[in-house]
Structure 1
Amino acid sequence: MIKVKQLAHVCIFANDLEATRSFYRDVLGLGTQFNFLRDGKIFGFYLDCGGRSHVEVFQKDGASYSDLNQINHFCLEVESIDAAIAHIGSKGVDVTAKKLACDDTYQAWIRDPNGVKIELFEYTEKSAQFVGGDRIADW
């Protein structure tokens, strides 16, 4: 039997690799773990999300995000949802208001320069991810 340890990475495509790197570095504070090189040029990179989790980014001209894509969004846990919202707003990025979701976890939403949806999470002591129990969806 296989035992999954954690989610290792999520891969996204970028129309503008350096604008995407700047967004994840300057807005979300994710540093570059390493670059992918081909013929001496950077065509992708790994971003450090803490622990052993990463976001993998590759240049793909003409890539566009749609709500019909198989992967709808990815989620980053933050220490303080309020601080994250304030910081992201100060960078001129649209961010939703904080909401206590039906799973008793605070959330807010943003999009990267490629339109990829990113959920920001701050867990609480009552978060279903830790205490279990079915929750009634409120969306």
Structure 2
Amino acid sequence: MIKVKQLAHVCIFADDLEATRSFYRDVLGMDTQFNFLRDGKILGFYLNCGSRSHIEVFQKDGASYSGLNQINHFCLEVENIDAAIAHVRSKGVDITSKKHACDDTYQAWVRDPNDVKIELFEYTEKSAQFVGGDRIADW
């Protein structure tokens, strides 16, 4: 039997690799763990999400998000959703207001330069992820 420990990484494609790196570094505060090189040129990189979780980014000319993609978004847990929203806005990037979700978490939504949807997420003591219990989807 397999026991999954945690999400290791999510892979995204970037039309502009360095604009994508700047967004994740300057707006979301994520450092590059390492680069992928081919013939001395950077073709991708790993971003550190904390612990052992990462976002893997590869150059792909013309890449853009579409609602038809199989992966709809990825979610990053943050310590303070209000501070995270203020920081993203201070970088001139659009982000939604904080929403109290049906699973008793707080969330806000932002998009990277490739239009990838990113959920910023703060747990509460009542979050379904900790206490269980079915919740009525309100979207």
TM (norm. structure 2) is 0.99
Letter in structure 2 aligned against 1:136? I
How far apart in 2 are the matches of 1:79 and 1:131? 19
**Secondary structure at the residue paired with 2:110?**
strand
Which amino acid in 2 is paired with 1:5?
A: K
- What are the within-5 Å matches in structure 2 for residues 1-139 of structure 1? 1-139=1-139
Amino acid across the alignment from 1:57: V
**What percent identity do the matched residue pairs reach?**
88
Partner deviation per Cα, 1:36-72 (whole Å, 9 max, x = no partner): 0000000000000000000000000011101110000
After superposition, what is the alpha-carbon deviation per residue over 1:46-103, rounded to whole angstroms, capped at 9, x for unaligned?
Answer: 0000000000000000111011100000000000000000000000000000000000
Name the SS for the 2:21 alignment partner: helix
Aligned residues: 139
Provide structure 1 residue ranges, at least 5 long, that are not aligned to the other structure.
none
Letter in 2 for 1:47: L
**Which residue identity does 1:64 align to in structure 2?**
S
What secondary structure is seen at the aligned counterpart in 2 of 1:20?
helix
Amino acid at match of 1:74: F
Unaligned runs of 5+ in 2: none
TM-score normalised by structure 1 residue count: 0.99
The AA in structure 2 aligned to 1:3 is K
Q: Take 1:104 and 1:2, find their aligned partners in 2: how far apart are those partners?
A: 29
Moved over 3 A (4+): none
